[in-house]
Structure 1
Amino acid sequence: MKDDNLLLTLCLVFAPLSLMAIGGGSSILGELQHSVVDDRHWLTNKAFLDMFAISRVAPGPGTLIVTLMGWHLAGWAGAIVSTIAIFAPSSLLVIVIAHFWHSRPDAAWQGALVYGLAPLAAGLVLSSVLALLSNAKGGWIAWCVAIMVAVAARRVRLGPLTLMVVGSVLFCGLLMAVG
């Protein structure tokens, strides 16, 4: 991709998303997909989903998808700039909030912040799930498996690895039964 200011643009796209990542990196996937696929056309939906899959199986945080995007768009410099842009703003914000949090341990705003951000984080994660499932090629089978795994996670309390295996087997079984 030819863009004289690509590194700056990567920083300007990913840094604000860093501050929106309340609830973890999964909470910004919907907006990330919208920014890089729909708005800027840096990636196709398939390329985005491929990078998402790679970032999920790789060790480390899920926001490493941004590193893959930066590398894809601008090589090593893009990978480094994108990684710094996605991790630095939120890390600095956590340091500042932690300072105030510990200096005023009984402040009323702490409870309000915790209770206020919980539904926001849940909504952001759900919007990311919606964006990913809408662009996946699994169709209604993917939706059904996702719902069943979510219910199982809540009711049976299985670990994430077990849920991934169960979901994969369920998806493949349904896919073979239907197709």
Structure 2
Amino acid sequence: MNLRLMGDLLAVFVPLSFLTVGGGQSIVADIHRQAVGVHGWMSDAQFLDLFALSRITPGPGSLLVTLVGWQVAGLGGALAASAAIFLPSSVLVFGLAHVWSRYRTRALVRAIEAGLAPVAAGMILAASCTVLRAAEGGVWAWSVAALSTLALMWTRINPLLLLALGGLLFLLIPH
């Protein structure tokens, strides 16, 4: 077990644990920045493979962190990264839940809640852009993503149909 790698995993994921406003999806952009850009633990392609695997398996959105830990340092890395992402924020939320329920009707608490919603949405949007950039799909990928977003916002279309159509488009049209 490489202690330096374990320390690096903890140093990356403990602070990110406190930023999981909106769920694990909200920190994907920074996970990518740290794993690919800062530490060089993997390539864009390897990150995309782990991201895809984390999305098709059941479990929390932060499963990506476990997979990154596994890639970096095997089972020990997976356990360290998982503990680093889940424990700090869980302890914080447990403590805050009691305070929050007591002061729920206060204007400051309602303002904080209202302010966190757009922050979470922005972080999730940043994650989506990071994945699109890393995929190197070019104009086609960005166009399909934009059209899919609009379709989901303004219609009741099944997302699985959009996935199938997007995949078919990429198979049929050279890009």
TM-score (norm 2): 0.92
Unaligned runs of 5+ in 1: none
Cα pair 1:145 1:171 within 8 Å, conserved: no
| Residue 177 of structure 1, CA deviation | 2.9
Q: Describe the superposition over 1:20-76 as per-residue Cα deviations: whole angstroms up to 9, x where unpaired.
A: 111111111111100110000001111000000000000012210111111111111
C-alpha distance in structure 2 between counterparts of 1:108 and 1:127, whole Å: 29
Cα pair 2:104 2:110 within 8 Å, conserved: no
Cα pair 1:71 1:78 within 8 Å, conserved: yes
Aligned pairs for 1:145-160 within 5 A: 145-158=144-157
Aligned-pair identity (%): 38
1:104 paired with 2:135, answer no
Q: Report the counterpart of residue 164 of structure 2 in structure 1.
A: 168
1:34 paired with 2:33, answer yes
C-alpha distance in structure 2 between counterparts of 1:177 and 1:120, whole Å: 36
Q: Describe the superposition over 1:96-140 as per-residue Cα deviations: whole angstroms up to 9, x where unpaired.
A: 221111122321111111111111111111111111111113221
* Residue identity matched to 1:123: G
More moved, 90-99 vs 49-58 = 90-99
SS at 1:5's partner residue?
helix
RMSD of aligned Cα (Å):
1.7
Cα pair 2:29 2:126 within 8 Å, conserved: yes
* Residue identity matched to 1:176: L
Unaligned runs of 5+ in 2: none
C-alpha distance in structure 2 between counterparts of 1:135 and 1:164, whole Å: 22
Matched pairs, number: 175
| Residue 86 of structure 1, CA deviation | 0.8
| Residue 165 of structure 1, CA deviation | 3.8
1:133 paired with 2:113, answer no
Q: Report the counterpart of residue 63 of structure 1 in structure 2.
A: 62
Q: Report the counterpart of residue 51 of structure 1 in structure 2.
A: 50
C-alpha distance in structure 2 between counterparts of 1:145 and 1:47, whole Å: 23
